[in-house]
Amino acid sequence: MENLKIVAPVRSKFMMEEMIEAGANEIYFGVSTPLFQQLSFDNKFQTVADYPAHFSDWEEIDDIIALAKANNLRVIFMANTPYIPTGFEKDYQKHVNRALEKGVDAITISSIQSCHLLNSLEKNIQIISGSQLAPVNKYGAELLKESGVKRITLSQSMTLEEIHELRDLEMELMITGNFGTGSMAGNCRLWESPNNLEIGEGIRTLYRVLSPLNTHSNQQHFLDSATDCSLCNLEDLVSAGVTAIKFLGREAPNPVTLAMVVNIFNEWREMGISGLSIDQKMKITEQEQLMWVMKWVPRFCEKCRCTYKPTAITKTYI
């Protein structure tokens, strides 16, 4: 557990300070580009629900990297767009190269195309595959390793046994610690616009589900993404080979609340190092939350619905 790295998002100096206080070991961020009006080179909208998802200019990055180095934090730059039009490939390389010149430690990508573009820079770049490039088996992980990837983000659909099989590859394995998109990271096809509620079907809403014979219908939460916290399985995941846990939320409305989530995982890790049982950790965590006044309050599901448990996976016919 002591080797598990906590990877947190930042979009401002204030958010950076909150994540340092919460116990993060690594931070990641993106920088907006004037080339695009809406999207960016990391596949994020410039704003999400009116909140910025990136740093607005490169000058802010100097202070962020200096603060990270002063606190022994690794810095990851997000360049994880799943596709780069041919006409923008050189601009993509310049964008990443500028981040490298600033002193970032690693680059997150989400396509084999990006791997080839970074490898052609002929620099010793530490490449991380993002959730949209998450392998679902050992063969996919081997392909990423051959492409120069040093750390992979695991699919939320993988079992502990499948994760354990990746240990022989000698790659860093990372999971998503909060609020994924459906049960398989990066593969949800129910999408929505973060800026216009009338565009897209949404990913956390009610859906009408029909049986194969259309004999009945009812509305239910089809995607259960908010329950995959992984806390109860954290020790098992580390034993299987997981070395890092990443938190989503660069565009989070309240960085303080997100930092509290990061802190819970940090405390859970520390309690694991001390040898406390899951029941003991749950009791301590729930007692501490009595003092919370935030809107987000952790609730243990009591059913172990994490997708890492094969017995918890069910099939729905639509």
Domain boundaries, the chain: 5-312
Whether residue 81 contacts residue 34, with contact meaning beta carbons closer than 8 Å, is answered with no
**Of 154, 100, 106, whose CA–CA distance to 130 is shortest?**
154
- State mean pLDDT over 183-211: 50
DSSP reduced 3-state for 219 = strand
pLDDT-derived band at 11 (thresholds 50, 70, 90) equals very high
Pairwise CA distance, residues 254 & 256, whole Å? 5
DSSP state of 50: T
The yes-or-no verdict on residue 214 having pLDDT over 90 is no
pTM for the full model? Answer: 0.79
Instruction: Count Cα atoms within 13 angstroms, Cβ side, for 164.
Output: 9
pLDDT at position 194 is: 54
pLDDT at residue 115, rounded to an integer: 94
pLDDT at 90 over 90: yes
In this predicted structure, what is the pLDDT of residue 220? 45
Under 8 Å between Cβ of 160 and 138: no
**With contact defined as beta carbons under 8 Å apart, do 172 and 243 qualify?**
yes
Which residues on neighbouring strands pair with residue 6, listed in sequence order?
Answer: 245
pLDDT at residue 162 above 60? Answer: yes
User: How far apart are the C-alpha atoms of 206 and 286, rounded to whole Å?
Assistant: 29
Give Cα 133 to chain centroid, integer Å. 12
Rounded CA-CA distance 246/232 in Å is 16
pLDDT tens digits, residue range 96-135? 999 999 999 999 999 999 999 999 998 889 999 998 888 8
Phi, psi for 214 (deg, rounded to 5): 55, 30
Span 177-195, pLDDT tens digits: 764 443 333 444 445 555 5
Written out in words, the top-level CATH class of the domain with range 5-312 is: alpha beta
Contact by Cβ (8 Å): 19, 261: no
Per DSSP, 87 falls in state: G
Task: Fill in the amino acid letter for 285.
Answer: T
pLDDT, residue 301, reads 52
Give which of 111, 58, 122 is closest to 88, Cα–Cα. 111
Q: What are phi and psi of 7, to 5 degrees?
A: -110, 120
Q: What is the pLDDT of residues 55-76, one digit of tens each?
A: 988 989 999 999 999 999 999 9
How many residues are present in the chain? 318
Closest CA to 76 of 116, 144, 30: 30
Residue 316 Cα distances to 196, 270, 313, angstroms: 29, 38, 10
At which residue do the structure tokens 């052609």 appear? 120
pLDDT at 207: 47
